[in-house]
Amino acid sequence: MLSLNRPGRVDFPLLFVTVALIALGVLFIYSSNRASSASFRSAEHTRQILWAVLGGVLLVFTAVFDLSLFRRYAFVAYGVIIILLVLTLFFGRVVNGARRWIGIGNLGMQPSEFAKLVVILVLARVMDTYSGSLHKLGHFLILLGIAAVPAALILVQPDLGTALAVVPVVFAMALVAGASLSHLVFFGTTGVLTIVIAVLPAANQHLVEGNSAFLSVFGETGLMLLMVLVFLGVTLLCWVAKVVTGKQWFRWLSYGAGISASSLMGAMVIQRALRPFQVMRLIVFLNPNIDPRGAGWHTIQSLTAVGSGGFAGKGFLQGTQSQLQYLPQQSTDFIFSILAEELGFMGVLLVFALYGFLLFRGLVISLRARDTFSGLVAAGVVTLFAFQFFVNVGMTIGIMPITGIPLKLMSFGGSSLWSAMIAVGLLLNIAARSRVREI
C-alpha cells in the first residue's frame, strides 16, 4: 500500500519553505523564552526542535503513503477525532480557562488541531462522491453538518478561533467543488451576521456612548425570538407569493428574510456559548483602550512591539516587549510580534514571502492534482494555512480580534506543528502524483 516517491518527484521548494518557517519559529521561540538576564524561563525552543524532528517523520509518512488510504479511512479518522473531542470535554486538561488538551501526565495532544485536517479529508471524499450534484441544498447541508459537529465540540471547550478556522475551509472547498453560489452566499452571510449580532450587546455597552436603545434589543431574548418569528413568517409568505406569481423579487425577499431569521437564531446560540472574555476579545480590537489592562492589553502590547521594530528591527534577542515579557502568549499567539520587533519590516517581508510562496505552491498543486479528491484536499489545506496566517498576523497588528489562532509552522506547540507538517506532507504527496512532472 506504500507508494514511495522518486526523489525527482519531491517538491523541494515547498519542502525548503516549510523548513525555513519552522527554523524561524524555533529562533523566535528561543528569543521569547530568553530573559534580559540571558537566563531562560523555559526550554520551549528545545521541545519545539524535538517536535519538529518527530513531525518530520510524520511528514515523510504522509508524503509516501498511497493517497487512496486517506480517502478510504477518512470517515474512520472522523469518528476517532469526534471521540477524542468528546473525551477532551470531560477528561481534558484545563489550561488558561480552556479544556483543549487530553493525555496522560505531561504527555498530551490537542485533538482540535488534527480535527481540521480530518474535516478536510472527509469533506473532500464527500464532495468527490457528490461531484456534479453539490448544487443541491441537501448535499450542501451534509457538508455543513460534517463540519458543524467537530466545530461545535471545539467551540464549547471553549476555543472560538479553532472552531472558526473550519468555516472558510468548508466554503472554499465547496466553491471549488461546484456548490451553488446562492447557498454559499446565504450561509456565508448568515455566519457573518450571526457573529456581529451576537456581540452587539457588548459593543453597545462598551463602545457606544450613552448606549443605543436599538442595539439593546439584541440582548433581549424575548424580543429576538419575536423578530425570528416575524422574519420566518415573511420568508414563508414571500416564498408562497413567488410560487403563485412567479415573480423573482419575491424570491429575493424570502432569501433576505431567511438570512435575517437564521442570523438571529444563530446569534442567540452564540451568545450562550461564548464566555464574557471571548466576547470582549471580539470587540476590543476596535478600541483596545476600553480595557487596557484586560482584553485590550494583548493588542496594545502587540502593536507596540510591531511598531517599534521599524525598518530593520532592534536586533535578534534585543526586543524590549518580548525580553521584558510584556507580550502575553508570545511564543504561541504572538510569535509574529516578536519577529516584527526584532527584525523589523525586513523580517515581516521575509515571512510574507515565505508564506506567500507556500500558498502559491499549494494552489498550483491543487490545480494540477490528478483527481478531484486530491485537488480538494490541497485546496482545503491552502485555505486553512491562508486563514490562520491572515488571522494571526491580523491579531498582532490590531485589524482582527484575538481568537487564539497560532501561526502555522512557527508558533510553539506540538499539536499545531505536527498538524501543519502532516498538511504539508499531504501537499507533497499530491504534488508527487500530479499530472505535470515539473510544478
Record the cell numbers describing residue 127, joined without a space: 464532495
> Whose grid coordinates read 479544556?
99
The answer to whether residue 437 sits within a structural domain is: no
Q: Round to whole Å and give the CA distance between 147 and 346.
A: 38
Write down the pLDDT at residue 202.
Answer: 86
The answer to whether residue 438 sits within a structural domain is: no
DSSP string, 257-274: HHHHHHHHHHHHHHHHHS
> Whose grid coordinates read 413567488?
242
The answer to whether residue 20 sits within a structural domain is: yes
The answer to whether residue 370 sits within a structural domain is: yes
The answer to whether residue 132 sits within a structural domain is: yes
Helix axes 137-155, 160-177, angle to 10 degrees: 160
What would the pLDDT profile of 122-165 be if each residue is shown by its tens digit?
A: 999 999 999 888 889 999 999 999 999 999 999 888 888 899 99
The answer to whether residue 36 sits within a structural domain is: yes
Write down the pLDDT at residue 4.
Answer: 53
Phi, psi of 410 (to 5 degrees): -110, -40
* Total domain count, the chain: 1
What would the pLDDT profile of 191-201 be if each residue is shown by its tens digit?
A: 999 999 998 88
For 263-291, letters b (16+ CB in 10 Å) and e give bbbbbbebbeebeeebbbbbbbbeebebb
Is the Cβ–Cβ distance between 215 and 209 less than 8 Å? no
The answer to whether residue 1 sits within a structural domain is: no
The answer to whether residue 60 sits within a structural domain is: yes
The whole-model pTM stands at 0.91
Question: For each of the chain's 439 residues, which pLDDT tens digit applies?
Answer: 445 555 447 899 999 999 999 999 999 999 888 755 555 556 888 999 999 999 999 999 999 999 999 999 999 999 999 999 999 998 888 776 678 888 766 677 899 999 999 999 999 999 999 988 888 999 999 999 999 999 999 988 888 889 999 999 999 999 999 999 999 999 999 999 999 999 888 888 877 766 788 888 898 889 999 999 999 999 999 999 988 888 888 999 999 999 999 999 999 988 888 878 778 878 887 788 887 777 788 888 889 899 888 998 899 888 888 777 777 778 888 999 999 999 999 999 999 999 999 999 999 999 999 999 999 999 999 999 999 999 999 999 988 888 889 999 999 999 999 999 999 999 999 999 886 544 4
Write down the pLDDT at residue 404.
Answer: 82
Tell me the CA end-to-end span of the chain in Å, nearest whole number: 25
Look at the alpha carbons of 358, 363, 367, 373 in this order and tell me if their dihedral is positive or negative.
positive
Q: Which domain holds residue 41?
A: 7-432
